[in-house]
Amino acid sequence: MNKDYHISVMLNSSVDGLGIKPDGIYVDLTFGGGGHSQEILNRLGDKGRLLAFDQDKDTFKNKIQDSRFELVYGNFNFLKNYLKYHKAPLVDGILADLGVSSHHFNEEDRGFSFRYDAPLDMRMNQNGELSAKVVVNEYTEAQLLDVFWQYGEVKNARKLVDTIIRSRTEKKINTTLELTKVIESCARKHKEHKYFAQVFQAIRIEVNQELEVLKNMLLQTEKVIKPGGRLVVLTYHSLEDRLVKNYIKKGKFSGDVEKDFYGNFKRPFIEINRKVIVPTEQELEENVRSRSAKLRIAERVEN
């Protein structure tokens, strides 16, 4: 585990939620610094198996040397196919920590943070074609409004978009510092950092298609987790948490839960924790970035 790369949020609570069987097969969908993976391995027996995913090649420097462990370079958008390819079509549990790692925010040249002057990038997968620079400089007015309304919940999105378009017409916006200077006038005085965080979050979600990928992944979990197996998800903002909450409660992302002919609920999972789990005071002291984390645990039911 590489604590310099990332401190795992709610480590014990989330791994406890998997209800690990020593000889089970488990999946860590967001390997990062390897903290959750290492803790899962600590609880597995000799016949247990763990597959971890990450689409950022930087994480491979943290790979754990263990015969029970396999690190897959890929996006969990293709979860079912990857598991089938790696001869694990059905698993006993899946853990997904949806947070952006400290490494990404601290790596100046990746462009995830407004604290540094860096190229407008924000790609988790550095082979991806869509970057923050493309979003900021090439998206239409309607597209930008959609991004900032939906993903950043920016209240003055129209003013923000008008400001960006006016500026980019004169000169392309190439760096994070250039962007913050352009949009500074849109932020309330003394609230600039909060505003920048909303804007950068919205762009990052769009660049990495985070919500669509999350939906696809959740729908695949019901096909690959065995009955009695667990789904454990850590979210960090309301957009993610709403999707996870609705999926676990209803088996869908909006609308009411469906019922069968006899009036029984038709949903692939049942909640283990009806009330969302949040970090303890001690965890908040150790890792300030855990402050917005929410943990949800569900168990796969028989079809």
Same domain, 202 and 221: no
Give the total number of structural domains in the chain: 2
Q: Which of 94, 107, 165, 170 is nearest to 135 (CA)?
A: 165
Same domain, 191 and 222: no
Question: Which of these three, 156, 175, 208, is where a domain ends?
Answer: 208
Tokens of 112: 């995830």
pLDDT value of position 159: 98
Question: Is 116 among the domain residues?
Answer: no
How far, rounded to the nearest angstrom, does the alpha carbon of residue 200 sit from its chain's CA centroid? 15
- Pairwise CA distance, residues 95 & 158, whole Å: 38
Residue type at position 79: L
Question: Is 194 among the domain residues?
Answer: yes
Q: Which of 61, 50, 47 is nearest to 4 (CA)?
A: 61
Residue type at position 150: Q
Question: Is 32 among the domain residues?
Answer: yes
- Pairwise CA distance, residues 225 & 25, whole Å: 10
H or E element that contains 25: strand 25-28
Same domain, 28 and 151: no
Q: Provide the domain limits for residue 284.
A: 11-102+210-300
Question: Which of these three, 208, 229, 262, is where a domain ends?
Answer: 208
Question: Which of these three, 188, 208, 228, is where a domain ends?
Answer: 208
Same domain, 217 and 186: no
Question: Is 140 among the domain residues?
Answer: yes
Q: Would you say 227 and 300 are in contact if contact means Cβ atoms under 8 Å apart?
A: yes
Q: What is the CATH number of the domain that holds 81?
A: 3.40.50.150
Q: Please report the sign of the dihedral spanned by the C-alpha atoms of residue 128, residue 213, residue 77, residue 9.
A: positive
pLDDT value of position 213: 94
Alpha helices for the chain (secondary structure H): 11-17, 35-43, 79-85, 102-106, 132-138, 141-152, 157-170, 176-183, 192-208, 210-224, 238-250, 281-286
Same domain, 152 and 280: no
Same domain, 233 and 219: yes
Question: Is 27 among the domain residues?
Answer: yes
pLDDT value of position 5: 46
How many Cα neighbours within 13 Å face the side chain of 242? 9
Same domain, 224 and 85: yes
pLDDT value of position 126: 80
CA angle 153, 156, 160 (to 5 degrees): 100
- Pairwise CA distance, residues 131 & 74, whole Å: 18
Same domain, 296 and 233: yes
Ramachandran quadrant class, 260 (left: phi over 0; alpha: psi -120 to 50; beta: rest): beta
Same domain, 139 and 189: yes
Q: Structure pTM?
A: 0.87
pLDDT value of position 101: 55
User: Which segments in the chain show pLDDT lower than 50?
Assistant: 2, 4-5, 102-103, 105
Residue for token digits 């065995």? 226
Same domain, 84 and 232: yes
Question: Is 227 among the domain residues?
Answer: yes
Same domain, 59 and 202: no
Same domain, 71 and 141: no
Q: Strand order of the sheet with strand 269-271?
A: 69-73, 49-54, 25-28, 91-97, 225-235, 294-300, 269-271
Question: Is 120 among the domain residues?
Answer: no
Q: What is the CATH number of the domain that holds 158?
A: 1.10.150.170
Question: Is 216 among the domain residues?
Answer: yes
